Amino acid sequence: MELSFSEEEVQFREEVKSFLLKHVPPEAAKRVSLGLPVNPQDVLGWQKILFAKGWGAVSWPEEFGGTGWSATQQYIFEEECAAANAPLQPAFGLKMVAPVIMAFGSAAQKSYYLPKIISGEDWWCQGYSEPGSGSDLASLKTQAQRVGQHYIVNGQKTWTTLAQHANMIFCLVRTNSDGRQQEGISFLLIDMRSPGVTVQPIIMLDAEHEINEVWFDNVKVPIENLVGEENKGWTYAKYLLGHERTNIAQVGKSKRELKRLIGLAKKQRGPNGRLIDDARFRDQIANLEIELNALEITNLRVIADYSKGGIGPKASLLKIKGAEIQQQLTELQMQVLGPYSVAHIKEGLSLNWEPADGLSAYPDYAPALSGAYFNYRKTTIYGGSNEIQRNIISKMMLDL
């Protein structure tokens, strides 16, 4: 593959930069630049701006309302969005359930759900993990019993990201308990407003409400909400996970955070002067930048393969390295904070926070950095733990 960008792609990058400069909301960009928690108004507002431009779903084919862009164009767009501090788009809808609906859904599901995803009308969350069924996902126990023209769903999902904002959830449910575990799983689309659905918050180490438990108590789901065939949901789940693991790499975001790290190291002073002047600290930054450059090249190779028809096990490489680099970035940012990394101040995650008396020297970016450190401990676990990804690579790529 060609690893340099063509003249047309360079021109495309300039077009994207120009659009972002004019249309990324400044207040939303400031929140992103400080690493503050997800603001649903920012996410939905940005999605509507992109939708109006015709860029609401850069990875979708034109037949479903997408841009029809090449994989390289998609990569450039997402890299420039990260550099411009644009809010994230609602990924659970656009990049996870939408590809499954496109590949395996009925014509009615495609015509009903896809327009609502791209317009920002529907906010989706993911119902995969359960207590005791995380890495061993096939052991899930949430039941869906067919009764007439409905499934009756009972069970519990956990670690459900941003479910408090979602009106829809895609779920793996057990429809058959005979035979191999993987052969009795189905893929359901469930309205979060249905009677019997309860969302309970899980408060994280940074004191934020990002993840949740979701309970299903005799929830009625129309049979029309079954994607594909009953008991074939494991196939669709693996297809979705390939997209999720590719998204976890987040090369553009890591490049932005590396730039931020260098800027902070130039500003912050240690016992012997600026941190950027410390040779050992510079070595750590240089090593991380090398790793990130290697990840970027690998990501370009994977998206080139995707443009030819599939993601495959290489997505596991992106997931492993992308997650590790994100953690390393937060660790070095905490080193930059020095004594201010000891405490995390939840109130500091407010956009207009001003340090109280006794904290006047506390940098405005410090709470966000320390919160991010706690938050990013999970990146090597979600989307399939890094240990599982190494098993996948050894079996499917190395034939061990």
Contact 236, 227 (CB under 8 A): yes
| pLDDT band, residue 368 (cuts 50/70/90) | confident
Among the CATH numbers 1.10.357.10, 3.40.50.300, 2.40.110.10, 3.30.450.20, which is that of 124-231? 2.40.110.10
Closest residue by Cα to residue 104 from 244, 228, 262: 228
Q: Does domain 249-396 have CATH number 1.20.140.10?
A: yes
Domain ranges of the chain: 7-89, 124-231, 249-396
Closest residue by Cα to residue 127 from 165, 95, 99, 168: 168
What pLDDT shows up at residue 1?
Answer: 47
- What pLDDT, in 10s, does the model give residues 309-354? 556 677 788 889 999 999 999 999 999 888 778 778 888 888 888 7
* H-assigned helices in 55-97: 71-83, 91
Residue 68: pLDDT over 50: yes
Residue 359: pLDDT over 80: no
Rounded CA-CA distance 175/214 in Å is 19
Q: Positive or negative CA dihedral for 155, 160, 162, 167?
A: negative
One-letter amino acid of 339 = P
What pLDDT shows up at residue 326?
Answer: 95
Rounded CA-CA distance 82/259 in Å is 11
Rounded CA-CA distance 236/128 in Å is 12
H/E segment holding residue 152: strand 150-157
What pLDDT shows up at residue 209?
Answer: 92
Q: How far is CA 318 from CA 37, 334, 376, 391, 399, in A?
A: 24, 24, 16, 14, 19
- What pLDDT, in 10s, does the model give residues 188-213? 999 999 999 999 999 988 888 999 99
Shared fold status for 124-231 and 249-396: no
What pLDDT shows up at residue 306?
Answer: 63
Rounded CA-CA distance 302/311 in Å is 7
